[in-house]
Amino acid sequence: MRFDFTDLRLFIAVVEAGSISLGAGAVHLALASASARIGGMEATLGAKLLDRGRRGVTPTPAGRALLDHARNVIAQVERMRGDLRAFATGLKGEIRLLSNTAALVDLLPAALRDYLPANPDVDIDIEEMTSADIVQAIAEGRADFGVIADSADPGGMEILPLSFDRLVLLVPKDHMLATRHLVSFADLLDEAFVGLSGGALHDHLADHAAKLGRRINYRVRLRSFDAVAKLVDAGIGIGVLPLAAAERHRGDGLAVIKLVDPWAERRLMICARRFDRLSAHAQTFVDAIRRQADHAAFSVH
């Protein structure tokens, strides 16, 4: 079977996108070329790899088997690149990392500031997901490792504990809730909210509102925590943010209030299928994240 790395990367991208055209775009191939490669793989294997329908493509049993092997092969190549990085000039390594919203606020940017200048031949691809989705993606081999909250069941993943993360309420200092030290999420659902336009935290809050039989009344949704804080300060609505993001605005006419809900306090963790099977550069970045977590003030104040 003469499958090259482009074939394997293409097949992974097609299955993950559920579309040959979208998968082709993800690996920078023309649709005709991608279709020919998929057809050639099926002809070489002598089995159908994809079921094609009006809504896209899904892998057949043979396709699922190939997908698992393809992910393992690509992961092994990345480990090889990392292990040989110190011996080969110009060899580029790549890390695929998944993260929940909380870690993306301060923890990962600070770790990247230390790691990237010391590792100029390593590129890092970071995607935001909910913690539960991260565990599933890591189990399926779609990334090297992930940063999750302990509210998610890590299943058979190996974990390394990091720091604590807390979600808090941010309100203007003249808001009727500003004098309170504690508040429950259920007490907030009659209020107008300012929040993020999608992402792991948005989904996390929506899930807990749904468990209460409610929906969050978002007046405005934005793309950054700093933008959320500015509109909260303008009186547009209240916001729920990670503590690290909220603390940056505590003195800007805003009050930070602790949420009493048990799910609002979470421990961040790194998860991987096997840490000893990560590439050398991925293991080094795991160490950088753990060092940053040790030095950062992520505990509840």
Question: CA–CA distance from 122 to each of 70, 95, 139, 257, 288 (Å)?
Answer: 22, 7, 23, 40, 14
Coil vs helix vs strand at 23: helix
Q: What does each of the 301 residues of the chain score in pLDDT, given as a tens digit?
A: 678 889 999 999 999 999 999 999 999 999 999 999 999 999 998 999 999 988 899 999 999 999 988 988 888 887 777 666 655 555 567 899 999 888 887 789 999 999 999 988 888 999 988 888 899 899 888 899 999 988 788 888 999 999 888 899 999 999 999 999 999 999 999 999 999 887 778 888 999 999 999 999 999 999 888 899 999 999 999 999 988 888 888 777 899 999 999 999 888 999 999 998 888 889 999 999 999 988 764 443 3
Q: Which residues, 6 or more positions from 87, have their beta carbon under 8 angstroms from its beta carbon?
A: none
CA 216/CA 207 separation, integer angstroms? 10
DSSP 95-121: EEEEE-HHHHHTHHHHHHHHHHHH-TT
Strands 158-172 and 254-259: antiparallel
Query: What domains can be seen in the chain, in order of their start residue?
Result: 5-80 (1.10.10.10), 91-301 (3.40.190.290)
The number of beta carbons lying within 10 Å of the beta carbon of residue 55 is 8
The gap from C-alpha 24 to its chain's centroid, in whole angstroms, comes to 23
